[in-house]
Structure 1
Amino acid sequence: MKLTIIGGAGVRTLGFVRKLIEQHALLPIRVLHIQDISQTRLATIGSMIAETARRGNAPFEVELTTDVAEAVRGAAFVYFAIREGGDAGRVIDERVPLCYGILGQETIGPGGFAMALRTIPVLLRYARIIEREAPDAWVVNFTNPASMITEALHRHSGIRAIGICDAPSSLKLDIARYLKAAPDDIAIRYFGLNHLGWIDAIRLDGRERLDDLIDRYEAFVAASPHMACFSPERIRALRLIPNEYLYYYYSPEEATRHILGGTRTRGQQIEALNRQLIDRLQEELGKGRMDAAFEAFAAVMKERQISYMQLESGQAASAAAPDGISAARPDSAAAGGSNERPDLSTGSGANNGWNRASGESNVEAGPGMEAAIYENEGYAGLALAVITAIHGDRPTELIVNVPNRGTLAGLEDDDIVEVACLVDRGGPRPLPLGPVPEPAMRLIRQVKHYERLTVQAAATGCYETALAALASHPLVPSDDLAERMLNDYIREHGDSLAYFTERGS
């Protein structure tokens, strides 16, 4: 069996490969094909992947290529983890709205909009290649913005695609830690869209515990510091536990103020870290010091995790950078998977929209539980949980991004939602969810309307549709600002958005 990673020279692939080696008994991959458009990164990260496979006595071959058709030919599973435009593209995505005092974040608001417009046409081209070279393959999408990417693949291609994000799983593990419970003893009900989800019920030992956590939210934050972006007062008013990305919707002015108060955006932080990392890896590998390369890699990944959401939430100041954020328009010279949450996790086991956390990966699993273990290992574990459930026909309950099919009332059947599903050889099937709180549904409907328009714009190249999409986003205050930002993006991204023509040009 062949597994292909598109965009595989990113920094997160090493963790994926380690997990694949550990779980090979359940997922007998014979060929792991790594594709990336950057020959430099492919050679650098590829050599470390090959060494990881050698040290782990991997029972599969590792092949490297820049050619998508070669990579996917005959694959049973294809994993999308690309960043179209690279880190420089992310910097533009975030800086353009900040020039107008609007939130700049890579998946939320205008930043996510620009990322979708750059990325969807590329992945639709890849989808055509998969249709030809691997028509029976399952595609697991980790490329952001995951909801819109997965929706584009469903609406505008014939491939079988499932979107994944490890944020819901990580939130479940945070709750299990706080409750001092074995992860598989708690169950949560999670619903929403990617980066727009909530928990509205928690069960432990037959008791509802959501109110306990909300009423003692300060103690929960002490165990999960990144959740300090929400004040206890807000959580008690909501009576829900939101995905951390809801911070950008609930407190956009605060997040923007914190970002503008730093000396660089998160995208600039990551661009600098990745550039330094690749340079260091090339230096160490050029001297034959593989162990030193692995140590440098681990240090940078730790720094990324520690600094996650620190700037945006005001919990820490940004590190110094040579170029700060200006309130002026960006000048025309402004220049890998994108979720950055630490690899924390929980597992599976859902009924009627509930998802139950799994045990740690070294716990002996009973019959039928093997795939559930994977979700306890962050994004790599979740991806492998999906793949193993399908390949081995092991029914497993996982929170993934799939067509709605009536799960959330008021949305179209083909709208991509993030909910608990039963995954087996037939793919994912959403579990019945029932009514959800109306305040959450109002925001879901508004954001989904924006997502539908953005997908349509990316698939057709229609400027007017793109403008309508951006103007409809709840974080964009006016049509005038939407048009100015769209025109800036078209100019700044050059070839990536050349399929649009700026109005008036």
Structure 2
Amino acid sequence: MKLTILGGGGFRVPLVYGALLGDHAEGRVSRVTLYDTDADRLTAVARVLGEQARGVSDAPEVVATGDLDEALRGADFVFSAIRVGGLEGRAADERVALGLGVLGQETVGAGGIAYGLRTVPVAVALARRIARIAPDAWVINFTNPAGLVTEAMSRHLGDRVIGICDSPVGLGRRIARVLGADPARARIDYAGLNHLGWVRALHVDGRDELPRLLADPALLGSFEEGRLFGADWLRSLGAIPNEYLHYYYFNREAVRAYQEAERTRGAFLRDQQEGFYARMRDPAAPALATWDRTRAEREATYMAESRDAAGAGEREESDLESGGYEQVALALMRAVARDERASLILNVRNRGTLSVLDAEAVVEVPCLVDADGARPVAVDPLPYHAVGLVTAVKAVERAVLEAAESGSRSAAVRAFALHPLVDSVTVARRLVEGYLDVHPGLAYLDRP
């Protein structure tokens, strides 16, 4: 089975390859093709993968190429993990937004909209190319903003594109362990959009254990989301939010923390990864050890500004474990390729699952997966507080898709202005002007 990774020079690709190395069953991935437009990054990541494969007799073959059609031809699965504009683009997204006093985070608020406006046209072009060159391939999208990009690609690939994210998986795992349950046996009631969802129940042997967690302040304070949101707020909600909802519930604190930080997250990652790839240009550098050290620092500083704003302290050792999106991707490929029925939280077309959204809207919900793909399962209706956020953010996503398709600058302004974390139409217009100044790739927004 052939897997093609778009963005194959990306820093997190060794996580995916590491998961593949642990799969020895019949029908496993036997060839990985890395595609990237940056030859130096491709070479660096291929070196890391080469060291990972040492001593593994059936390690998947690795091929690196800068030819997209060659990479796609014959692919059974295509993993999309591109970053349009690179980390310099992310740092610029943060800088422009913070200069106007609003959040610039990569997937939430102004920064997420700017990233989406840059990324959707490229993702759509890729989707069309995949449909032509590899029409039978299944596409697994991890490109952020994951829900928005998956919806854009689904307009050309239908249900053969499935979005993944490690946030719901990590959240469910942490809750299960706090409750003394086996995460593999727990069934999580989770619903919303990507980076905008809530755990409303966690069933173990048919019993919902979440009320026990919400009633115990000590248990709530023993895991990351409990410390991030606070026990009182979680009990008030009656649910455990995805960590990214901290940007909505504690927006002023988050913006202030970003403004006061020595560097934004994007600037930190840009500098860190530039250092990694520079070191990898030395043929004598130990590739895997260098990558491991860099990854450990990256994971330890994840959402550091939000944890500082909440007084949540350092990340726990259990929060630094692997088993995130790469394991979701592997489980998804196994279920489809081997017809092994699995239950996973994925980004798929709604099909009536959340009644407040139309059938084509991509949502993040539990799905049953087999050889026919992923099908969302029925979930309880969202509470009104969640309905408000979910419908508002979906309206923003639709405005981004309209702007990307038509080149309409007014649709781009509307996307910013409608977002719950942008508090003024005037600010929205200034955001569009600011992003046009720093991102040449947005020059397509040249219509009224």
- The alignment's TM-score, normalised by the length of structure 1, stands at 0.84
Partner residue of 1:451?
Answer: 397
SS at match of 2:280: helix
CA distance, structure 1, for counterparts of residue 309 and residue 97 of structure 2: 22
- Equivalent in the alignment of 1:74: 74
Distance 1:301 1:175, change over 3 A: same
Q: Deviations over 1:78-99 (max 9, x none)?
A: 0000111111000011111100
- CA–CA distance in structure 1, aligned partners of residues 158 and 184 of structure 2: 36
Cα distance change on mapping 1:55 and 1:207 into 2, 3 Å: same
Contact kept in structure 2, 1:163 and 1:400, CA below 8 Å: yes
The 5-angstrom pairing of residues 249-328 of structure 1 reads 249-283=248-282, 286-287=283-284, 289=285, 292-314=286-308
* Amino acid in the other structure paired with 2:173: L
1:411 corresponds to which of 357, 362, 367: 357
Aligned residues of 1:398 and 1:422 also touching (Cα < 8 A): yes
What is aligned with 2:197? 197
More divergent stretch after superposition (56-65 vs 101-110): 56-65
1:428-469: CA deviation from partner (whole Å, max 9, x where unpaired): 111111323221112111111111111221122111111111
Residue type of the partner of 2:264? T
What is the number of equivalent residue pairs in this alignment? 442
1:175-194 map, 5 Å: 175-194=175-194
The residue number in structure 1 matching 2:375 is 429
Distance across 2 between alignment mates of 1:158 and 1:456: 18
What's 2:15 paired with? 15
Instruction: Report how far residue 397 of structure 1 moved.
Output: 1.0
The amino acid that maps onto 1:482 is A
Q: CA deviation at 1:343?
A: 6.1
Match of 1:481 among 427, 442, 447: 427
Q: How does 1:54-203 map to 2 (within 5 A)?
A: 54-157=54-157, 160-203=160-203
- 1:411 partner SS: coil
Q: RMSD over aligned Cα, in angstroms?
A: 2.0
Residue 338 of structure 2 corresponds to residue 392 of structure 1: yes
Letter in 2 for 1:309: M
Distance in 1, matches of 2:183 and 2:149, equals: 31
- Secondary structure of 2:172's counterpart equals helix
Give secondary structure in 1 for the equivalent of 2:307. Answer: coil
**Residues 342 and 79 from structure 1, CA distance in 2 versus in 1: closer, same or farther, beyond 3 angstroms?**
farther
Cα deviation 1:355-377 (Å, max 9, x = unaligned): xxxxxxxxxxxxxxxxxxxxxx2
SS of the equivalent of 1:201 reads strand
| 1:183 alignment partner, SS class | coil
In structure 2, relative to structure 1, the CA distance for the partners of 1:138 and 1:477 (3 Å cut) is: same
State how far apart, in whole Å, the 2-side matches of 1:444 and 1:456 are. Answer: 18
Deviations 1:330-384 (A, max 9, x none): xxxxxxxxxxx96657xxxxxxxxxxxxxxxxxxxxxxxxxxxxxxx21111011
| Cα pair distance change 1:33/1:40, threshold 3 Å | same
Q: Which residue of 2 aligns with 1:364?
A: none
Q: Distance in 1 between matches of 2:76 and 2:320?
A: 26
Q: Secondary structure at the match of 2:305?
A: coil
Partners of 1:48 and 1:15 in 2: CA distance: 10
So what's the TM-score if we normalise by structure 2?
A: 0.94
Secondary structure, in 3 states, of the residue corresponding to 2:187? strand
Matches within 5 A, 1:312-351: 312-314=306-308, 344=321
Name the stretch that deviates more: 302-311 or 411-420. Answer: 302-311
Aligned counterparts of 1:481 and 1:424: Cα–Cα separation in 2:
46
Please give the residue correspondences for 1:196-215 in structure 2 after superposition, counting only pairs within 5 Å: 196-215=196-215
CA distance in 1, matches of 2:383, 2:159: 33
Cα displacement string for residues 54-89 of structure 1 (whole angstroms, at most 9, x for unaligned residues): 432234321101121110111111000011111100
Q: CA deviation at 1:150?
A: 0.4
Deviation, structure 1 residue 205 = 4.2
Q: Which amino acid aligns with 1:93?
A: D
Give 2:78's aligned amino acid. V
Query: For 1:22-79, what per-residue CA distance to the aligned partner results, in whole angstroms no more than 9, with x for missing partners?
Result: 1131542232100111111111111221332343223432110112111011111100
Secondary structure of the 1:296 match is helix
1:358 aligns to what?
none
Q: Is the 8 A contact 1:94 1:104 kept in 2?
A: yes
Name the amino acid aligned to 2:348: V
| 2:227/2:310 contact within 8 Å kept | no
Q: Which amino acid aligns with 1:44?
A: A
1:498 deviation in Å? 1.5
Q: CA deviation at 1:273?
A: 1.0
**Could you tell me how far apart the structure 2 residues matched to 1:343 and 1:128 are?**
37
**Aligned-partner residue type, residue 16 of structure 2:** F
Q: Cα deviations across residues 290-314 of structure 1 (Å, max 9, x unaligned)?
A: xx33222111111111111122331
Query: Which residue pairs with 2:229 in the alignment?
Result: 230
Gaps of 5+ in 1: 318-340, 346-376
